[in-house]
Structure formats: C-alpha cells, structure tokens
Amino acid sequence: MQDIPELENCRLCEWQCGVNRLEGELGVCRIGRPKVASAVLHPAPPQSYTIFLSGCNFRCLGCQNWSIAHFPDTNETPRGYVEPKCLGEEAYDAVNSREGNFLGADRIFFSGGSPTPSLPYVEQVVREARKIGDIKVNYDTNGFLTVDSLKRVIEFTDSITFDIKAYHDDVHRALTGAPVEPVLRNARYLAENAREKLWEFRILLIPKISVGEIKPLVDYISGIDPTLPLNFLAFRPNFVLENYKGASKEFMEKAVRMAKEGGLENVDWSGRVGLPGRLSEKTSDKYENKGGEIAGGIAKEAGCVTHPRNCVACELEHECPIKNYRPAKKSI
C-alpha cells in the first residue's frame, strides 16, 4: 500500500480538517486511507467503467448511495484498497473489453460517495491507466473541493459531472450539513475556466424542499453562460428521506420550463417520477427558507443536533445520527 503524504494534513476539500489520516485521525468525511467500494461497467451517461470510492464529505439526507457514502459507519464491506497500477489496468481493460464496447463505454468514471477525499489516489490510478494508452476520465463531484483540488481535477479529466444541491445556504446546510458558498464558487470557476470539461450541472429536485431553489440556481447558471448544460434529477425516496414523496413528472417539466424561461438553452430532466410517499410536516425554526425549514426538521427528527446543520462544528461529528441512520426499507 502506497502512502499519500497529503493525507498527513488533509486539506483536499473545503472542510480543510488538517487531520493525519495516515495515523488514524478522522475529519468530517471519517475516511482514513482511500478504499474502493466497487467498480463496474455502468450505462449511465457518460457510459464508463465506474469506480465508486468509499466515503463522502457530505451527510445528505437523501443519499442514494448511503451504504457507500457513509463508510466506515455502515455495515457494508468495501472492496478495499487496490494498488493504483492494478486498478488502472483493470479500468483500462474493462473500457476496452467486448462488454465495454457493447455498452459504449469510453472512459473511467470516479464517483462515490465523493472521490474528493481520495483525490491523490484517483490521480495515481489515472496515471497508471494512461501508461497503457489514451483513455478518458470523468470526475463526479458535489462541488465541495478547495480551488487547488478543483484545478487538479480539471487537469486530468476529460469531463466533470457537477452536483448542486441548493442555492440558499440554509437549504444546502439542511440537506448536506455543509455550506453552499464553495460549491457555487467552484461551479463558476469550472464554467469560466474549463467550460469544455463540464459534462453537466445536476440539480436534484425534492418536492417542496427544492421549490424555492430552482429560479435562483437557474439565474446563477444562466448569468455565467446560458449555454451551460443542466440536468434536473427527479428525487426518489432514499436514506433519511426514505418515506418522502418522490418528484412528479409535472414538477420536473415545470422546472425545465422555468429554466428555459430563465435563459438556459441546454436543459432537461431525468429519473423515475411519481414514487409514493408523504410530504413532511416537520419543520425547524433555525432556517430562513421554507426548504431549509422542512429539510432541517427532518434532520432534527433523525437525531441531528446542530442547526443550521454544520457538520464540522457538531459535537456529534464522529457519532453522527445521520451517518448512522439505517433505512427501514430498500431504496427504490
């Protein structure tokens, strides 16, 4: 196993915890050394050999990959550490295999969780794969990187999928536990400095919670460049929001109309709609916007004690009720 000196004082994401992960110290992401959760040929655009990295620096209420993202606090056993040379060769061979060609795969896709806490490891894997031959790379991000880390990602990638959870800080905190400013800053930086690398911005739409986020996000993105690609993702019940109502087709289509009326030229939506559930009446008065009140109330009911949510300053940072939440039913 290769040591990664950067992990002795980890400042890869905007939490900038400064912990020595090689010696067992844990920051907000609670990841020690990088570990692979799984790797598989995947049809979702862009088609790829997708490597899921264990752990995440967010604690999202509606996480669809919660068993991966909340490692090491889940009971899931990841594949574990894989030597970069071995994983690079494996990924290159998979993309160029008969199955990969049939799928239309043309790149390695790093996802999670979040790959950012494992960024130096990702770079090692990419270098090893490219020693064999040319291959594209996609990086999936929640946007919570330092600017230096984002520059590194731009350097080795061919495409970047970039998630934005909300525009208002209180809503973003209620949903993720993290402030929104670094995410919006990085979205702008990417769009202005590496427009050709952006595969798409993605915005998850949650009934009631996301209603007040659509217009300001559209205005923010269109104000940078109206041709930037945007995909609205339909919320489906997951994790702490396992009983929450899924997004309707009408809601998704309305969001697309709003985006086009707001000046965006390249916008669509995707996902499964109309999934059953109920809209929560739980609210918290620690949030300014309605979406934050609802999401914050749900987080509070699940045991979150710091409001507005702020994972780095929480007394339960390493005993987080959200990370330790276990859905009663399987995600749809």
Write out pLDDT tens, residues 141-191.
999 999 999 999 999 999 999 999 999 999 999 999 999 999 999 999 999
Rounded Cα–Cα distance for residues 55 and 37 (Å) = 9
- Please report how the helices 290-301 and 169-176 are oriented relative to each other, as an axis angle in degrees rounded to 10: 20
311 is in an annotated binding site: no
Rounded Cα–Cα distance for residues 195 and 35 (Å) = 30
In this predicted structure, what is the pLDDT of residue 44? 85
Residue with tokens 């010696």: 23
Q: What is the pTM of this model?
A: 0.96
290: left (phi over 0), alpha (psi -120 to 50) or beta: alpha
Domain boundaries along the sequence of the chain: 10-157
56 is in an annotated binding site: yes
- Any alpha helices (H) in the chain, and if so which ranges? 66-69, 84-95, 98-103, 119-132, 147-156, 169-176, 181-193, 214-224, 249-261, 290-301
In this predicted structure, what is the pLDDT of residue 13? 98
CA-based torsion, 177, 15, 81, 106: positive or negative: positive
Strand partners for 145: 13
Range with the poorest average pLDDT among 48-62, 67-81, 88-102: 67-81
In this predicted structure, what is the pLDDT of residue 25? 96
In this predicted structure, what is the pLDDT of residue 329? 66
Rounded Cα–Cα distance for residues 237 and 156 (Å) = 34
Q: What is 10-157's CATH superfamily?
A: Aldolase class I (3.20.20.70)
In this predicted structure, what is the pLDDT of residue 330? 59
In this predicted structure, what is the pLDDT of residue 277? 96
**Is 61 in a helix, a strand, or coil?**
coil
**Residue 70 DSSP label:** T
User: What amino acid is encoded at 311 in this protein?
Assistant: C
216: left (phi over 0), alpha (psi -120 to 50) or beta: alpha
Does residue 272 carry a pLDDT above 60? yes
304 is in an annotated binding site: no
Residues 9-22: what's their mean pLDDT? Answer: 97
Instruction: Confirm if 103 and 94 have CB atoms less than 8 A apart.
Output: no
Question: How big is the CA angle at 170 (ends 166 and 174), to the nearest 5 degrees?
Answer: 80
Q: What is the pLDDT of residues 239-250, one digit of tens each?
A: 999 999 999 999
For residue 15, count other CB atoms closer than 10 A to its CB: 22
Number of continuous H segments (helices) and E segments (strands) in the chain:
10, 8
Q: Percent of the chain scored above 70 by pLDDT?
A: 98
Per-residue exposure over 242-269, b if at least 16 CB sit within 10 Å of its own CB, e if not: bebbbbeeebbebbbebbeebebeebeb
**Residue 274 DSSP label:** -
